[in-house]
Structure formats: C-alpha cells, structure tokens
Chain A
Amino acid sequence: NAGVTQTPKFRILKIGQSMTLQCTQDMNHNYMYWYRQDPGMGLKLIYYSVGAGITDKGEVPNGYNVSRSTTEDFPLRLELAAPSQTSVYFCASSRTSGIADTQYFGPGTRLTVL
C-alpha cells in the first residue's frame, strides 16, 4: 500500500494563478481531510469529506475548493492564489471519524505564492 500520496511536493505560484493539489489514498478510507500548516502554528482544517460526493468546510476554507468524485481522490483547488496561502498542505485520510479513528497523512505539499 502506498498510503496517502500527494503531488506536487513543491510549487511556486504567482499571485492570481490557479492550481490543484492532488491527494490519493489506497486504503479505501471514507474520510479525507485537507490541512494547512503555517510556521509556528498548529494544523488547520481546510475541508473534509465523509465519502464520495460529500464535502464540508473546515476551519479555514476561504480561497479553496474541493471535490470528491471517487473514494480514492480528494483534490484541493486554489482559484486565485494569494500570498496568505503560502503554507505546507497536508492531506489525510481515516476509516471513520469516531473516537477510534487514526488519521494517515500524506507527505505534504510546500506551496509558495509570490
């Protein structure tokens, strides 16, 4: 099993450009999450999904969009990149969201917006 994979690993964007961060998991997990990690700050939840076709906002959703057309894939879209979106982005998945849940994280995407 590859677990949770993310592409790209690094990306530099200019202000106003768009891009999609890809996330794929091969563990047949229902739940998937997108987090951002800013220097010196805890992980913040951007969006999450409880299954194919179902997504919901997390704590910091502004400037982002997601879709979940399959169980495996959960892409994160930045439409008009802004310097405030410079961060490290982590995708994660879990079998459930109950108290016994363990989240499995991807390796992260380091995004810089100039």
Chain B
Amino acid sequence: KNEVEQSPQNLTAQEGEFITINCSYSVGISALHWLQQHPGGGIVSLFMLSSGKKKHGRLIATINIQEKHSSLHITASHPRDSAVYICAVRAGSQGNLIFGKGTKLSVKP
C-alpha cells in the first residue's frame, strides 16, 4: 500500500465547477505539500501546510492531522486549471518528501 494515496486518479469537470482532490497518508508527517504539474511537465509548489487551511486565489487546501487527510479545492474552475495535482508529505521534521501518484484534472470549456 502506498504511503500517500490520492483520489480520484482522473477528474473531468466543466468550466465553473467546484473541484475537490483528496489525499490520504499513512505515516506521521510534519508537513504536507500540494504541487501542480503543468501539461508541459513543469512542477510548481502550490501550498505547504501543517495544520488548518490555506487559501490562494481560487485554490483552498485543508488538512486534518488526526484523520491523516488533506483536500485541495478549486472554486470556479477554468480550463487553465487543467494539470496534474500532486500531494506530497514530509515524514518527520527532516525526512524527505513522499509523493502521491497525482490526480489528472481536465476542465472543459
């Protein structure tokens, strides 16, 4: 069983829809990251969180440490949001990142 599981694997939405991507993990962590991989391959960090909730524009990330679960929400989705969204966790305070397999999102106009 992977230490970091994402769901769904693939997601197709219509422009304007509210989107939720889930991440569950089985190890104790010090931080959780959400990253975005563009269709061209580049990877950028969206959020890093260790508790609670963070918001950046139309993106919201939440984490529940007790339930070992995080969600990434996209409000008013747009075709430019189409990308692979990757969840990664840091086990312990100095451990290396453990990555999920990613969720491929396609937003149709």
Set A97, A102, A110: member contacting B48, Cβ < 8 A = A102
The reply to whether the CB of A2 lies closer than 8 angstroms to some CB of chain B is: no
B2 touches A103 (CB 8 A): no
Main secondary structure of the interface of B (DSSP, over half): strand
In the complex the two chains form, is A102's CB within 8 Å of B96's CB?
A: no
Q: Smallest CB–CB gap between A37 and chain B, Å?
A: 9
Candidates B31, B48, B86, B96; contact of A42 at CB < 8 Å:
B86
B101 near A45 (CB under 8 angstroms)? Answer: no
A110 CA to B41 CA, complexed, in Å: 10
Footprint of B on A, CB under 8 Å? 33, 40-45, 48, 58-59, 88, 90, 92, 97-105, 107-108, 110
Q: 17 additional contacts, CB 8 Å, given A92-B43, A103-B33, A107-B41?
A: A33-B96, A40-B101, A41-B101, A42-B88, A42-B100, A43-B88, A43-B97, A43-B99, A59-B96, A98-B94, A99-B90, A101-B48, A101-B90, A105-B43, A105-B44, A108-B41, A110-B41
